[in-house]
Amino acid sequence: MTAQADNERRPADVRMDPEVRTGPDVREGTDVRTGPDVREGAEAREAADVREAGGAPRVLVVQHEDGTGPGLVGEQLVECGLEQRIVHPWAGEELPGSLAGYAGLLVLGGAPNCEDDEAAPWLPAVRTLVREAVGSGVPLLGICLGGQIMASALGGSVVVRKRGPEVGAVPVRRLPAADGDPVFGEVPDGAPAAQWHWDEIGELPPGAVPLLTGDDCLHQAFRIGERAWGVQFHPEVLGDAVAEWAASDGPSVAGAGADPLGAVASVRENEPALREIWSRTARAWAAVVHAHA
Protein backbone atom coordinates (compact mmCIF):
# COMPACT_ATOMS: atom_id res chain seq x y z
CA MET A 1 0.00 0.00 0.00
CA THR A 2 1.49 3.36 -0.97
CA ALA A 3 1.54 6.46 1.20
CA GLN A 4 -1.40 7.78 -0.78
CA ALA A 5 -3.46 4.59 -0.59
CA ASP A 6 -3.89 4.32 3.16
CA ASN A 7 -6.97 5.27 5.01
CA GLU A 8 -6.41 6.60 8.52
CA ARG A 9 -2.83 5.61 9.33
CA ARG A 10 0.15 3.99 7.69
CA PRO A 11 0.01 0.24 7.02
CA ALA A 12 2.85 -0.34 9.48
CA ASP A 13 0.43 0.51 12.27
CA VAL A 14 -1.94 -2.32 11.33
CA ARG A 15 -1.08 -5.43 13.31
CA MET A 16 -1.75 -8.52 11.22
CA ASP A 17 -0.19 -11.06 13.60
CA PRO A 18 -2.36 -14.00 14.67
CA GLU A 19 -1.99 -13.39 18.39
CA VAL A 20 -5.33 -12.87 20.07
CA ARG A 21 -5.14 -9.84 22.31
CA THR A 22 -6.55 -10.03 25.81
CA GLY A 23 -7.87 -7.24 27.94
CA PRO A 24 -11.11 -5.62 29.13
CA ASP A 25 -12.41 -5.03 25.62
CA VAL A 26 -11.95 -8.65 24.56
CA ARG A 27 -14.99 -10.70 25.39
CA GLU A 28 -14.07 -13.71 27.49
CA GLY A 29 -14.72 -17.01 25.83
CA THR A 30 -14.64 -15.63 22.29
CA ASP A 31 -14.55 -18.57 19.89
CA VAL A 32 -11.77 -17.94 17.39
CA ARG A 33 -11.88 -21.34 15.69
CA THR A 34 -12.53 -21.35 11.98
CA GLY A 35 -14.81 -23.35 9.75
CA PRO A 36 -18.46 -22.90 8.75
CA ASP A 37 -19.78 -25.65 10.99
CA VAL A 38 -18.09 -24.18 14.06
CA ARG A 39 -19.26 -20.67 13.22
CA GLU A 40 -22.85 -21.64 12.51
CA GLY A 41 -23.11 -23.66 15.70
CA ALA A 42 -21.60 -20.88 17.78
CA GLU A 43 -23.90 -18.29 16.21
CA ALA A 44 -26.99 -20.38 16.85
CA ARG A 45 -26.00 -20.92 20.49
CA GLU A 46 -25.24 -17.23 20.95
CA ALA A 47 -28.55 -16.15 19.42
CA ALA A 48 -30.41 -18.57 21.66
CA ASP A 49 -28.52 -17.34 24.72
CA VAL A 50 -29.50 -13.74 23.96
CA ARG A 51 -33.15 -14.61 23.43
CA GLU A 52 -33.50 -16.87 26.43
CA ALA A 53 -31.61 -14.67 28.86
CA GLY A 54 -33.71 -11.66 27.97
CA GLY A 55 -30.70 -9.51 28.76
CA ALA A 56 -29.51 -6.24 27.31
CA PRO A 57 -29.63 -5.92 23.52
CA ARG A 58 -26.25 -6.83 22.10
CA VAL A 59 -24.28 -4.78 19.58
CA LEU A 60 -21.59 -6.41 17.46
CA VAL A 61 -18.57 -4.10 17.27
CA VAL A 62 -15.94 -4.66 14.57
CA GLN A 63 -12.55 -3.22 15.58
CA HIS A 64 -9.99 -3.24 12.76
CA GLU A 65 -6.75 -2.67 14.70
CA ASP A 66 -5.27 -1.92 18.08
CA GLY A 67 -5.90 1.57 19.42
CA THR A 68 -9.12 2.16 17.49
CA GLY A 69 -11.81 0.99 19.91
CA PRO A 70 -15.34 2.32 20.28
CA GLY A 71 -14.24 5.05 22.68
CA LEU A 72 -16.81 7.70 23.45
CA VAL A 73 -19.48 6.02 21.33
CA GLY A 74 -19.00 2.75 23.18
CA GLU A 75 -19.22 4.48 26.54
CA GLN A 76 -22.58 5.94 25.58
CA LEU A 77 -23.94 2.63 24.28
CA VAL A 78 -23.13 0.95 27.58
CA GLU A 79 -24.65 3.82 29.57
CA CYS A 80 -27.80 3.42 27.45
CA GLY A 81 -28.13 -0.21 28.49
CA LEU A 82 -26.61 -1.97 25.48
CA GLU A 83 -24.06 -4.77 25.62
CA GLN A 84 -21.06 -4.67 23.30
CA ARG A 85 -19.32 -7.68 21.84
CA ILE A 86 -16.07 -6.31 20.40
CA VAL A 87 -14.42 -8.57 17.82
CA HIS A 88 -10.78 -8.08 16.79
CA PRO A 89 -10.35 -9.83 13.43
CA TRP A 90 -6.90 -8.27 12.97
CA ALA A 91 -5.81 -10.31 16.02
CA GLY A 92 -7.19 -13.59 14.69
CA GLU A 93 -10.70 -13.48 16.14
CA GLU A 94 -13.43 -14.86 13.90
CA LEU A 95 -16.29 -12.60 12.87
CA PRO A 96 -19.73 -14.18 13.08
CA GLY A 97 -21.18 -15.25 9.78
CA SER A 98 -24.46 -13.46 10.48
CA LEU A 99 -26.11 -10.97 12.83
CA ALA A 100 -28.28 -13.60 14.49
CA GLY A 101 -28.65 -12.62 18.13
CA TYR A 102 -27.45 -9.04 17.61
CA ALA A 103 -29.57 -5.91 17.84
CA GLY A 104 -27.03 -3.61 16.16
CA LEU A 105 -23.78 -3.47 14.20
CA LEU A 106 -21.01 -0.90 14.81
CA VAL A 107 -18.10 -0.91 12.34
CA LEU A 108 -15.14 1.18 13.48
CA GLY A 109 -12.28 2.92 11.71
CA GLY A 110 -8.78 1.76 10.86
CA ALA A 111 -5.85 2.06 8.49
CA PRO A 112 -6.71 -0.36 5.65
CA ASN A 113 -8.27 0.85 2.45
CA CYS A 114 -11.84 -0.44 2.46
CA GLU A 115 -11.19 -2.63 -0.60
CA ASP A 116 -7.74 -3.94 0.37
CA ASP A 117 -8.66 -7.53 1.19
CA GLU A 118 -5.02 -8.59 1.04
CA ALA A 119 -4.00 -6.27 3.86
CA ALA A 120 -7.22 -6.90 5.80
CA PRO A 121 -8.54 -10.36 4.83
CA TRP A 122 -11.56 -10.02 7.14
CA LEU A 123 -13.09 -7.22 5.02
CA PRO A 124 -15.27 -9.54 2.88
CA ALA A 125 -16.90 -10.84 6.08
CA VAL A 126 -17.52 -7.25 7.22
CA ARG A 127 -19.16 -6.42 3.88
CA THR A 128 -21.43 -9.43 4.31
CA LEU A 129 -22.52 -8.22 7.75
CA VAL A 130 -23.07 -4.69 6.44
CA ARG A 131 -25.28 -5.93 3.61
CA GLU A 132 -27.20 -8.13 6.02
CA ALA A 133 -27.79 -5.24 8.41
CA VAL A 134 -29.12 -2.99 5.66
CA GLY A 135 -31.22 -5.73 4.10
CA SER A 136 -32.76 -6.88 7.37
CA GLY A 137 -33.12 -3.52 9.10
CA VAL A 138 -30.62 -4.18 11.90
CA PRO A 139 -29.38 -0.74 13.07
CA LEU A 140 -25.92 -0.04 11.67
CA LEU A 141 -23.34 2.66 12.33
CA GLY A 142 -20.14 2.82 10.27
CA ILE A 143 -17.35 5.15 11.43
CA CYS A 144 -14.69 6.43 8.98
CA LEU A 145 -13.40 3.15 7.49
CA GLY A 146 -16.72 1.64 8.57
CA GLY A 147 -18.62 4.29 6.62
CA GLN A 148 -16.36 3.74 3.62
CA ILE A 149 -17.01 -0.01 3.78
CA MET A 150 -20.73 0.74 3.74
CA ALA A 151 -20.40 3.01 0.72
CA SER A 152 -18.26 0.57 -1.25
CA ALA A 153 -20.22 -2.55 -0.31
CA LEU A 154 -23.57 -1.01 -1.22
CA GLY A 155 -22.75 0.38 -4.65
CA GLY A 156 -20.94 3.66 -4.00
CA SER A 157 -17.23 4.43 -4.34
CA VAL A 158 -14.26 5.36 -2.17
CA VAL A 159 -11.31 7.34 -3.53
CA VAL A 160 -7.90 8.51 -2.36
CA ARG A 161 -7.98 12.17 -1.38
CA LYS A 162 -5.94 14.12 -3.93
CA ARG A 163 -5.67 17.00 -1.46
CA GLY A 164 -3.92 14.91 1.15
CA PRO A 165 -5.34 13.82 4.50
CA GLU A 166 -8.07 15.66 6.36
CA VAL A 167 -7.05 15.85 10.03
CA GLY A 168 -8.10 17.70 13.15
CA ALA A 169 -11.39 19.15 14.35
CA VAL A 170 -13.26 20.60 11.38
CA PRO A 171 -16.84 21.90 11.08
CA VAL A 172 -19.54 19.79 9.45
CA ARG A 173 -22.55 21.37 7.77
CA ARG A 174 -26.15 20.25 7.99
CA LEU A 175 -28.00 19.28 4.83
CA PRO A 176 -31.81 19.50 4.49
CA ALA A 177 -32.33 15.78 5.07
CA ALA A 178 -30.77 16.06 8.53
CA ASP A 179 -33.98 17.69 9.72
CA GLY A 180 -35.94 15.01 11.50
CA ASP A 181 -33.26 12.33 11.18
CA PRO A 182 -33.46 10.15 14.32
CA VAL A 183 -29.67 10.12 14.83
CA PHE A 184 -28.26 13.31 13.29
CA GLY A 185 -31.30 15.56 13.55
CA GLU A 186 -29.95 17.40 16.60
CA VAL A 187 -26.41 17.98 15.31
CA PRO A 188 -25.94 21.77 15.07
CA ASP A 189 -24.70 23.34 11.87
CA GLY A 190 -20.96 23.88 12.06
CA ALA A 191 -20.46 21.23 14.74
CA PRO A 192 -16.79 20.26 15.14
CA ALA A 193 -15.91 16.72 14.10
CA ALA A 194 -12.60 14.93 14.62
CA GLN A 195 -11.04 13.86 11.33
CA TRP A 196 -8.11 11.65 10.36
CA HIS A 197 -8.41 10.07 6.92
CA TRP A 198 -6.53 9.73 3.66
CA ASP A 199 -9.43 8.21 1.69
CA GLU A 200 -12.96 9.52 1.34
CA ILE A 201 -16.29 8.53 -0.13
CA GLY A 202 -16.37 9.58 -3.78
CA GLU A 203 -19.97 8.62 -4.49
CA LEU A 204 -22.75 7.52 -2.16
CA PRO A 205 -24.61 4.26 -2.86
CA PRO A 206 -27.89 4.44 -4.78
CA GLY A 207 -30.68 5.62 -2.51
CA ALA A 208 -28.37 6.95 0.19
CA VAL A 209 -29.44 10.20 1.85
CA PRO A 210 -26.69 12.76 2.59
CA LEU A 211 -27.07 14.33 6.03
CA LEU A 212 -23.86 16.25 6.76
CA THR A 213 -21.20 17.72 4.50
CA GLY A 214 -17.93 19.59 4.98
CA ASP A 215 -15.86 22.34 3.43
CA ASP A 216 -13.14 19.91 2.32
CA CYS A 217 -14.97 16.57 2.25
CA LEU A 218 -18.36 16.27 0.58
CA HIS A 219 -19.82 13.20 2.28
CA GLN A 220 -19.51 13.47 6.06
CA ALA A 221 -22.66 11.59 7.13
CA PHE A 222 -25.35 9.67 5.29
CA ARG A 223 -28.25 7.30 5.87
CA ILE A 224 -29.18 4.20 3.88
CA GLY A 225 -32.70 2.91 4.38
CA GLU A 226 -34.29 3.58 7.74
CA ARG A 227 -31.65 2.34 10.19
CA ALA A 228 -28.15 2.44 8.67
CA TRP A 229 -25.81 5.43 9.07
CA GLY A 230 -22.25 6.06 7.95
CA VAL A 231 -19.88 8.88 8.87
CA GLN A 232 -16.49 9.93 7.51
CA PHE A 233 -15.34 11.52 10.77
CA HIS A 234 -14.60 10.05 14.21
CA PRO A 235 -17.35 10.73 16.76
CA GLU A 236 -15.69 8.23 19.11
CA VAL A 237 -12.38 10.05 19.72
CA LEU A 238 -11.03 12.96 21.72
CA GLY A 239 -7.59 14.52 21.97
CA ASP A 240 -5.64 11.63 23.47
CA ALA A 241 -6.59 9.24 20.66
CA VAL A 242 -5.75 11.78 17.97
CA ALA A 243 -2.41 12.46 19.67
CA GLU A 244 -1.59 8.75 19.39
CA TRP A 245 -2.44 8.81 15.68
CA ALA A 246 -0.28 11.89 15.20
CA ALA A 247 2.63 10.14 16.90
CA SER A 248 2.53 7.29 14.39
CA ASP A 249 1.22 8.97 11.25
CA GLY A 250 2.50 12.51 11.84
CA PRO A 251 5.52 12.41 9.52
CA SER A 252 3.41 11.18 6.60
CA VAL A 253 0.70 13.74 7.33
CA ALA A 254 3.25 16.55 7.50
CA GLY A 255 4.87 15.30 4.33
CA ALA A 256 1.50 15.56 2.58
CA GLY A 257 1.18 19.20 3.60
CA ALA A 258 -1.10 18.89 6.65
CA ASP A 259 -0.33 19.84 10.26
CA PRO A 260 -0.52 16.87 12.65
CA LEU A 261 0.33 18.86 15.78
CA GLY A 262 -2.20 21.52 14.85
CA ALA A 263 -4.75 18.75 14.33
CA VAL A 264 -4.20 17.45 17.85
CA ALA A 265 -4.43 20.98 19.28
CA SER A 266 -7.71 21.64 17.46
CA VAL A 267 -9.28 18.45 18.78
CA ARG A 268 -8.19 19.20 22.34
CA GLU A 269 -9.54 22.74 22.05
CA ASN A 270 -12.91 21.43 20.89
CA GLU A 271 -13.19 18.53 23.34
CA PRO A 272 -16.15 19.91 25.32
CA ALA A 273 -18.25 20.35 22.17
CA LEU A 274 -17.04 17.05 20.68
CA ARG A 275 -18.00 15.17 23.81
CA GLU A 276 -21.40 16.82 24.15
CA ILE A 277 -22.51 16.64 20.50
CA TRP A 278 -21.29 13.15 19.62
CA SER A 279 -22.30 11.64 22.95
CA ARG A 280 -25.82 12.83 22.23
CA THR A 281 -25.63 11.40 18.72
CA ALA A 282 -24.42 8.03 20.04
CA ARG A 283 -27.31 7.96 22.49
CA ALA A 284 -29.70 8.65 19.64
CA TRP A 285 -28.34 5.65 17.74
CA ALA A 286 -28.64 3.56 20.91
CA ALA A 287 -32.30 4.53 21.09
CA VAL A 288 -32.80 3.22 17.54
CA VAL A 289 -31.16 -0.06 18.56
CA HIS A 290 -33.44 -0.39 21.60
CA ALA A 291 -36.53 0.45 19.54
CA HIS A 292 -35.85 -2.35 17.07
CA ALA A 293 -34.30 -4.96 19.39
Catalytic residues: 144, 234, 236
H helix or E strand, kind and range, residue 280: helix 271-291
DSSP-derived letter for residue 91 is G
Instruction: From 225, 45, 56, 42, select the one nearest 133 (Cα to Cα).
Output: 225
Task: Please answer whether residues 181 and 264 qualify as being in contact, where contact means their C-beta atoms are separated by less than 8 angstroms.
Answer: no
* DSSP string computed for 208-239: -EEEEEESS-S-SEEEETTTEEEESS-TT--H
Task: Please answer whether residues 221 and 232 qualify as being in contact, where contact means their C-beta atoms are separated by less than 8 angstroms.
Answer: yes
Give the amino acid at 286. A
Q: Is 100 left (phi over 0), alpha (psi -120 to 50) or beta?
A: beta
Spatial distance between the Cα atoms of 14 and 263, rounded to a whole number of angstroms: 21
Length of the chain: 293
Residue 91, number of CB atoms within 10 A of its CB: 19
Instruction: From 191, 170, 197, select the one nearest 266 (Cα to Cα).
Output: 170
Task: Please answer whether residues 79 and 107 qualify as being in contact, where contact means their C-beta atoms are separated by less than 8 angstroms.
Answer: no
